[in-house]
Structure 1
Amino acid sequence: MTSIHCPQNSMYDEKLHITLSGLPKDKLLTIHASTIIDNGSMFESIGQYKSDSQGYIDLGKQESLGGTFTGLESMGLFWSMQQSLSNKYDNTRFVKLDVTTPLKVTIAVYNIVINNLLEMFKLKQENVEMDRFKLASVCINRWLMAKNTKRIPLTVKTHGIHGFLFIPEGPGPFPGVVVMFGGYPGTLEFKAALLSSHGFVTLALAFYGEEGLPGDIFMQPDTDKLHLEYFEHAVDYLCNHKMVESSCGIGIVSLSFSTAVALTLAEYCKAVTCVIWVNGSFQPTMCNIYYKDTVISRMIAFTTDIPAETRLRRFLKNITAVKNRNGDWVTSDGYVFNFQHQHNVAYMFIGSLNDESILAEHCVNWAERLLKDAKHPNYCILRCPGAGHLLEPPYGIHNRITTMAGVYTLDWGGISVPHCKAQEASWKPQIDFLRKNLTRSLAKL
């Protein structure tokens, strides 16, 4: 009897050991994986494996000979998933919105050679009964939120901020981390939920597009204003929470637009002692940031009529900064770099070198130059060759092209294999960086 052996339940970032037994001996077979995300879109993958003389396959030791991935890739069935040809909509972003339920993945093995997803789609269209080729199947659960994690909704009306707080199991207190995304309106919880499973109290923070928050800071930047006090309040909320150990400060994990917010917080909010910057900018891009009597101005490039994605890349590519009489680095549009002078803040800059949304490589090169010039004592630079903009937790797929709000089609860049390798390679360093810098005093460095 054919059996597929792997854990029934696992965390999303956990590498699995998958084996199959009771197979036809010395036979080339097809292993198929599929999942349906919250909006009903299906993603699937195929690997071709040859069973040994005992009718056994070990994905951790044997190479895939064809399909959506090849070579020795124990998690290839997960990261190589592509949008199903049967989906109603194209360019759906692979993202798990409901973190309270698992990502259910079905793995099946077929006694037939299927070379790609198009062949499988055609077989189904031709009403071929696939079950007659199926040797075994299993459905497993991939969790973003660990068992017994507390998930607490926060609202502007009650708490002054909008988001979700994740508190891991255990007596605590735990280090505190604010997790933010970029231009996506509302709240994305998956990264905060997953980080919490590693022993952090995390706050998935929304900053527009939710009740009580600005409606559209990008399309109406002069009326829907972004105030740093809101983010400062989120940091204070964590600092004052009984389950947060805040003596070493609060960490910020940022991506895309929110990176400028994170660096500004590091400058103005003394409780912030650790920042992870992923594929973003130094200066606000599409809107100003307001703080008391100070205005942190958006890039001058965004006052033109050139399409946003074009003007951002063009502007960043031509960033020049010179030292003025005071020794400050000042850009051509008058923006003064200050984050590098915050020696009490640890920085990790992660740049995808194939990012088509923003010139991340250019920015991390400048970050390194500025930090070295300021003799900053605690920073880390990670460069990810071949990776695109949406650098997410490991074993997720490469979201190259997505459609936002059913209207805007965005090319995030990246090449599938190196992008997915970068997601895996950069995840543990981020966790280690947060743990190191939020559990001991930087003042001792």
Structure 2
Amino acid sequence: PGPFPGVIDIYGVGGGLLEYRASLLAGHGFATLALAFYDFEDLPKDYSNLHLDYFEESMYYMLHHPQVKGPGIGLLGISLGADICLSMASFLKNVSATVSINGSGTSGNRTIHYKQTSIPPLGHDLRRSQVTFSGLLDIVDIRNDLVGGHENPSMIPIERAEGPILFIVGQDDHNWRSDLYAQTASERLQAHGKEKPQIISYPGTGHYIEPPYFPMCPASLHKLVNKTVIWGGEFRAHAKAQVDAWQQILSFFSRHLGGTQNRVSPKL
């Protein structure tokens, strides 16, 4: 019986609805909403801009759900989903804790809108991509430089966030340089008088840090470039990182959302 601490779970540029991570969180005592934002049912088939009004509606839904205890919500996102979560934490109220898994802390390739505020896209140049020895594409350097560092206008204003932020970083991320972005986000917070955030970096770990014992995804189709790209990671190191990162995420949410971390007894 609830109510339970609430979490909104968002995936990345692949679109659609992915529920397995939300299901696992639910098994640990969190009322979790797996939130699709494009290419699912009546949602748009692609995204040209990101409007936070849609995500604000999901916050309202969770905060008023009888099984969610509040007073705040946790956010969990990976890749583009992480940047959406960081944007939500920056502009929306009642976000108590945010976990960014290999996010960039920037607007990336699309403008982020909320009411009268717009964050311009950082942009990229596909000419900076490289073809690996296996014939797959490496896009780690296609993004434009963060000119001006943490004051770049494409940076998400995370200093506005009310709750703490946990950055989970794969040091061998080949989607973009997550370690650099996390450090830049940390510099931005401290420059605005905020505490240094918790950053957990994993050597030999690629972009798709999934829950424990999920197979590592070394490469797959990337919708942005419409080609197969490498995600980085060494199998053993990546697998170990997934086990540890999951425990770190559960502990972080339990600490800041008031969860008990009591797990539902398995049926098998």
TM-score normalised by length of structure 2:
0.85
Whole-angstrom distance in 1 between the partners of 2:192 and 2:28: 32
Contact 2:212 2:242 survives alignment (8 Å): yes
Contact 1:347 1:378 in 2 (8 A): no
CA 256–430 in structure 1, closer or farther in 2 if over 3 Å, else same: same
Structure 1: gaps spanning 5 or more residues: 1-170, 323-328, 441-445
Taking the aligned partners of 2:126 and 2:199, their CA distance within structure 1 comes to 34
Among 191, 197, 202, which residue is 1:373 paired with?
191
Corresponding residue of 2:40: 210
Mapped to 1, the partners of 2:186 and 2:35 lie a distance apart of 28
Is it true that 1:253 corresponds to 2:76 in the alignment? yes
Task: Say which structure is richer in strand.
Answer: 1
Per the alignment, residue 419 of structure 1 pairs with: 238
> CA 1:205 to 1:439, structure 2 compared with 1: closer, same or farther past 3 Å?
same
1:153-302 matched pairs, under 5 angstroms? 171-217=1-47, 221=48, 225-247=49-71, 249-299=72-122, 301-302=123-124
Q: What do the CA deviations read for 1:359-394 (whole angstroms, capped 9, x no partner)?
A: 111112212222333343473110010000000011
Relative to 1, partners in 2 of residues 1:179 and 1:285: Cα closer, same or farther, differing over 3 Å? same
Question: How many residues are aligned here?
Answer: 250
Could you tell me how far 1:240 is from its partner in structure 2? Answer: 0.2
Deviations 1:150-175 (A, max 9, x none): xxxxxxxxxxxxxxxxxxxxx11100
In the alignment, is the contact (CA less than 8 A) between 2:98 and 2:164 conserved in 1?
yes
Verify the 8 A CA contact 2:91 2:160 in the aligned structure 1. Answer: no
Aligned-residue CA RMSD (Å): 2.3
State the structure with more CA Rg: 1
Does the 8 A contact of 2:167 with 2:199 survive in 1?
yes
Partners of 1:201 and 1:244 within 8 A in 2 = yes
Identity %: 31
Change (3 A) 1:251 1:209: same
The residue matched to 1:195 in structure 2 has which SS? Answer: helix
1:272-421 equivalences in 2 (<5 Å):
272-299=95-122, 301-302=123-124, 306=127, 313-315=141-143, 318-321=145-148, 329-331=150-152, 334-335=153-154, 337-342=156-161, 344-377=162-195, 379-403=197-221, 408-421=227-240
Post-superposition offset of 1:265: 0.8
Aligned residue in 2 for 1:154: none
> Equivalences for 1:72-87 in 2 at 5 Å?
none
Please report the TM-score for the alignment, with normalisation by the length of structure 1: 0.53
Deviation at 1:179, TM superposition (A): 0.2
Q: 1:381 to 1:353 in 2, by over 3 A?
A: same
Aligned partner of residue 68 in structure 2, secondary structure: coil
* Corresponding letter in the other structure for 1:330: E
Deviating beyond 6 angstroms after TM superposition, the runs of 4 or more aligned structure 1 residues are 307-312
Q: Paired residue for 1:78?
A: none
Is the contact between residue 222 and residue 229 of structure 2 (CA under 8 Å) also seen in structure 1? Answer: yes
- Quick one: structure 1 residues 185 and 373, their matched pair in 2 at CA, closer, same or farther if it must change by over 3 Å? same
Structure with greater proportional helix content? 2
* Greater relative CO, 1 or 2 (CA 8 Å, sep 6+): 2
Alpha-carbon separation, structure 1, partners of 2:46 and 2:65? 30
Q: 2:250 corresponds to which residue?
A: 431
Q: Is the 8 A contact 2:79 2:103 kept in 1?
A: yes
Distance 1:378 1:243 in 2: 33
Aligned partner of 1:16 in structure 2 is none
Structure 2 portions without partners, runs of 5+: 130-136, 260-268
Query: Per-residue CA shift, 1:26-72, capped at 9, x if unaligned?
Result: xxxxxxxxxxxxxxxxxxxxxxxxxxxxxxxxxxxxxxxxxxxxxxx
Evaluate the alpha carbon distance shift between residue 203 and residue 340 of structure 1 in structure 2; reply closer, same or farther with a 3 A threshold: same
